[in-house]
C-alpha cells in the first residue's frame, strides 16, 4: 500500500467513523435499539442499532471511487465500490486469477461498526467502532500481517486511536506507549475468562484490579495507552474485533499473542477467532503465558508406558524408566505386550548377557542400563493400551511406534516420545537424554504441542490418521485416475501412481519424500500431493483444514487401497468417494521447549536422521 493508497483508505475510514457516530447518536440509550432483528454473518445476534451503523459503512464504501473488500460483523464478506455491492467469499476471491487489474480491489476493510453494543444501548460510555485496513495480497490468503492501518473511536467519550504499520500509534493526535509495570500485584487487568480456568483465576486473584468493560476493541487499545497493563480473552476474539487494536498495541510497543505466546497471524475471515493475551511488555507477557499454561502443565501422577517389543534395547530401557518413575512416586501402567516381554526377560537365565550385549551395541546409553531393578511385578501393573487413563504416555520407539500408540490410546492422552527408531521426528528426545528430560517434565517444566488429525470417511465407515492417508493401486506400476474436490469444487483431475492427503505432522514424512512442502504444525491446513503424476502441471496443494477434501476414483475396473499412517489398509472401488475432514480430537505432544519444530527439521532431515542425536533442550 503506497502513500496515496494509505491516504485514500484513511479518508474513507475517517468518513465512516464520522457518519456512523452521527447515525447512531439518536439510538444510544434507547432500549428499543437493542431489539434483536437477525443473526449476523458471524453467528451472533444483531441489534437494530448495529444495522443502522453497518448500513452507513456499506453505503460509504459502495459509493467510494475505489473497489474494496469488507469483512463486517453483521453482513459478512462483500466486494464494494464504484456503485456496486456483491457478496463474496474472501478466501475464494483472493485465489482467483481471472480478475483484471481495474477490477481488483485496493483494500480489505475489517469493520466492527459497534463494539460494545450493550453498552451503547444502556449509554455506558465504552462503545465504539473499529476499522482495520489491509492490503490485498496476490496469490495467497490475507492475514493479520497484511493490516497496515488501524482506527478505533470510542463514541462514548470521543477518544480516537489510530496506527500505521511501522510508524507508531496515536491517541487524540498524541503518541502513546504502554506502562512498564511487570509485577502481577501492581497490574490493571482487563478481559474475559472461562469458567473453571484455574490459571486465569490465578491471574485475576493476583492482579491489583480487574476491569470488564465489554469491549475487546477498546480494552486492547487501553493496554496500548497505559490505561490497562494487560488484557486476556480466553473465549476467543473475532479477528474483525482485534485487527485494528492488535496493530495499535504493537505500534505502541506492546505484545499480543495467543495463549502459547505465538504471534497472531490468522487469516482474515468472518469466521476466524483466536484467544488473545495482550500485555504492556515482554516481561509481564511471559509471566502471563507461564501462568495461563499451568493448566496445561498439571501434575503428572499416572504414566503409561508403551514401547517397541522387537528389540532388547527398548525393553531394557523401559524397565529402567519404570523403576525411575516408581522411585519418584508416580503410578505406572504398562502396555500388556510390553509387560509380557519384560516378565519374560526378567525370567530369562541369560539376562545379564543380554544386558551386556545391549550395552556394547549401544554405548551411548550403556551407563543407563547399569543396575536395572527387575524386582517389579510387571503383570500386576499391565493394562490394555485402549484402557490407559493416564496423565502422560511415554512411548519408546520411532515415529511408527508413536503413531500406532496414539491411534490406540484414549483421545488426547499427552505423549512423550523417546526415540528408539531411525529418525524419530515426532519423538521429543534421544534415549541418552531421557532421565534429564524426565526430571524436567515431572517438575512441571513442559509444554503441550497440539497436532491435528484427519477423519477419513468411506462407505459409512470412519477412520483417523495423524500423519497421512496414502491412496495407491493394489498392483505395482499401475496408475490410478483421481478426481479431487475441495468443499465441493473440483480442483484437479490427475492420473498418478497415488495420492497423499497429509496433515502438517505428516509433511515431514512420506509427503516430503513425494515432493510436498514442509509445513509447521501450527499451520491450519492439509496438504494434497500427487505421487508421480502423469501431468506436467500437477503440483501439491495446501488447503484449509476447515475444508472437506473428496477423492473419487475415475478409472473403471481399477480399485485402490488407502492406508492410514502406514497402519491400516482399506479398499476403494471405481467411482467410490473417500472424504477427509479435520478431526474434532487432537493429538498432544509433551515438549520440553516451545522451539521444537525447526530445530527438529535441521537435526533430523538434513542427513536423513540416521545416527544424528541432538540435545533435548
Q: Are 472 and 529 in contact (CB under 8 A)?
A: no
CA 271 to chain centre: 15
| DSSP letter (8 states) at residue 262 | P
Q: Provide the strand spans (E) within 15-140.
A: 36-39, 45-47, 68-72, 76-81, 84-87, 107-115, 128-135
CB 246 within 8 A of CB 144: yes
DSSP annotation of 474 reads S
- Which helix (H) or strand (E) is 50 found in, with range? helix 48-62
Contact call for residues 486 and 549 (beta carbons, < 8 A): yes
Give buried/exposed letters for 252-264 (b at 16+ CB in 10 A, else e): bebbbbbbbbeeb
* 51 contact partners, CB below 8 Å, separation of at least 6: 37, 74
184: closest CA among 287, 294, 289, 296?
A: 287
Nearest to 72 by CA among 112, 24, 40, 20: 112
Spell out the residues 6+ positions from residue 498 whose beta carbon is closer than 8 angstroms to its own: 470, 471, 472, 473, 480, 530, 531, 532
Longest dimension (CA), the chain: 92
Non-local CB neighbours of 201 within 8 Å, separated by 6+ positions? 193
SS (H, E, C) 129-166: EEEEEEECCCCCCCEHHHEEEEEEEECCCCCEEEEECC
In contact, 564 and 465? CB cutoff 8 Å: yes
* Closest to 53 measured CA to CA, from 83, 67, 76, 73: 73
Alpha-carbon distance of 151 to 106, in angstroms, equals 18
CA 613 to chain centre: 28
Q: Which residues are CB-neighbours of 182 under 8 A, at least 6 positions away?
A: 281, 283, 284, 287
Residues 6+ apart with CB under 8 A from 333: 302, 303, 304, 305, 381, 382, 383, 388, 390
Nine-digit cell string for 307: 514401547
Write the CB contacts of 12 (distance below 8 Å, at least 6 apart in sequence).
Answer: 60, 61, 64, 68, 109
* CA distances, 325 to each of 174, 321, 377 (Å): 59, 6, 15
Say whether 361 is catalytic: no
The active-site residue out of 399, 411, 545, 615 is: 399
CA neighbor of 333 nearest in space, from 351, 360, 306, 307 = 306
Q: Which segments of 351-509 are extended strands (E)?
A: 382-383, 392-397, 415-419, 429-430, 447-451, 454-458, 461-465, 468-473, 480-486, 489-502
Rounded Cα–Cα distance for residues 63 and 80 (Å): 8
Which residue numbers are catalytic? 399
Amino acid at each position: 500500500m503506497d502513500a496515496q493508497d494509505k491516504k485514500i483508505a484513511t479518508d474513507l475510514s475517517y468518513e465512516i467513523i464520522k457518519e456512523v457516530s452521527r447515525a447512531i447518536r439518536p439510538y444510544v440509550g434507547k432500549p428499543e435499539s437493542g431489539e434483536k432483528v437477525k443473526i449476523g454473518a458471524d453467528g451472533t445476534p444483531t441489534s437494530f442499532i448495529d444495522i443502522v451503523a453497518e448500513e452507513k459503512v456499506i453505503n460509504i464504501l459502495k459509493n467510494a471511487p475505489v473497489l474494496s473488500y469488507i469483512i463486517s460483523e453483521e453482513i459478512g464478506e462483500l466486494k464494494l465500490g464504484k456503485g456496486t455491492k456483491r457478496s463474496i467469499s474472501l478466501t475464494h476471491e483472493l485465489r482467483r486469477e481471472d480478475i483484471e487489474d481495474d477490477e481488483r480491489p485496493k483494500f480489505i476493510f475489517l469493520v466492527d461498526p459497534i463494539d460494545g453494543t450493550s453498552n451503547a444501548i444502556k449509554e455506558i460510555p465504552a462503545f465504539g467502532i473499529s476499522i482495520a485496513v489491509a492490503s490485498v495480497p496476490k496469490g495467497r490468503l490475507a492475514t493479520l500481517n497484511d493490516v497496515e492501518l488501524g482506527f478505533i473511536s470510542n463514541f462514548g467519550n470521543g477518544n480516537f486511536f489510530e496506527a500505521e504499520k511501522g510508524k507508531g500509534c496515536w491517541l487524540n493526535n498524541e503518541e502513546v506507549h504502554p506502562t512498564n509495570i511487570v509485577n502481577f500485584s501492581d497490574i490493571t487487568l482487563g478481559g474475559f475468562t472461562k469458567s473453571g480456568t484455574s490459571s486465569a483465576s490465578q491471574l485475576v486473584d493476583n492482579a491489583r484490579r480487574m476491569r470488564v468493560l465489554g469491549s475487546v476493541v477498546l480494552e486492547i487499545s487501553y493496554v496500548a495507552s497505559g490505561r490497562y497493563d494487560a488484557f486476556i480473552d480466553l473465549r476467543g476474539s473475532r479477528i474483525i474485533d482485534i485487527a485494528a487494536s492488535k496493530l495499535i498495541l504493537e505500534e505502541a510497543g506492546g505484545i499480543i499473542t495467543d495463549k502459547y505466546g505465538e504471534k497472531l497471524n490468522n487469516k482474515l475471515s468472518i469466521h476466524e477467532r483466536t484467544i488473545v493475551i495482550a500485555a504492556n511488555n515482554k516481561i509481564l507477557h511471559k509471566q502471563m503465558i507461564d501462568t495461563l499454561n499451568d493448566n496445561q502443565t498439571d501434575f503428572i501422577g499416572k504414566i503409561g508406558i508403551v514401547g517397541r517389543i522387537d528389540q532388547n534395547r527398548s525393553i531394557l530401557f523401559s524397565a529402567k524408566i519404570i523403576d525411575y518413575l516408581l522411585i519418584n512416586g508416580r503410578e505406572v501402567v504398562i502396555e500388556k505386550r510390553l509387560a509380557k516381554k519384560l516378565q519374560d526377560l526378567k525370567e530369562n537365565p541369560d539376562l545379564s548377557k543380554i544386558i551386556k550385549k545391549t550395552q556394547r551395541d549401544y554405548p551411548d546409553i550403556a551407563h543407563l542400563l547399569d543396575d536395572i531393578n527387575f524386582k517389579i511385578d510387571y503383570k500386576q501393573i499391565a493394562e490394555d493400551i485402549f484402557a490407559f487413563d493416564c496423565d502422560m504416555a511415554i512411548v519408546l520407539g520411532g515415529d511408527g511406534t508413536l503413531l500406532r500408540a496414539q491411534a490406540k490410546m484414549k483421545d488426547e492422552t499427552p505423549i512423550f516420545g523417546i526415540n528408539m527408531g531411525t529418525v524419530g521426528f515426532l519423538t521429543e528426545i534421544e534415549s541418552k537424554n531421557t532421565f534429564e528430560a524426565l526430571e524436567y517434565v515431572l517438575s512441571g517444566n513442559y509444554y503441550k504441542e497440539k497436532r491435528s488429525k484427519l477423519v477419513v470417511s468411506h462407505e459409512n465407515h470412519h477412520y483417523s490418521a495423524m500423519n497421512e492417508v496414502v491412496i495407491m493401486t493394489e498392483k505395482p506400476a499401475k496408475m490410478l485416475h483421481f478426481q479431487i474436490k475441495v468443499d465441493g469444487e473440483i480442483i484437479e483431475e490427475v492420473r498418478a501412481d497415488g495420492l497423499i492427503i497429509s496433515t502438517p505432522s505428516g509433511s515431514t514424512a512420506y509427503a516430503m519424500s513425494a515432493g510436498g512442502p514442509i509445513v509447521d504444525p501450527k499451520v491450519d491446513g492439509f496438504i494434497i500431493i500427487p505421487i508421480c503424476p502423469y501431468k506436467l502441471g500437477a503440483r501439491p496443494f495446501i488447503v484449509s483444514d476447515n475444508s472437506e477434501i473428496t477423492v473419487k476414483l475415475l478409472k473403471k475396473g481399477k480399485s485402490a487401497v488407502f492406508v492410514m499412517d502406514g497402519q491400516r489398509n482399506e479398499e476403494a472401488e471405481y467411482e467410490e468417494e473417500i472424504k477427509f475432514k479435520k478431526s474434532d480430537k487432537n493429538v498432544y505432544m509433551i515438549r520440553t521447549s516451545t522451539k521444537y519444530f525447526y530445530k527438529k527439521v535441521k537435526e533430523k532431515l538434513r542427513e536423513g536422521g540416521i545416527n544424528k542425536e541432538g540435545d533435548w533442550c
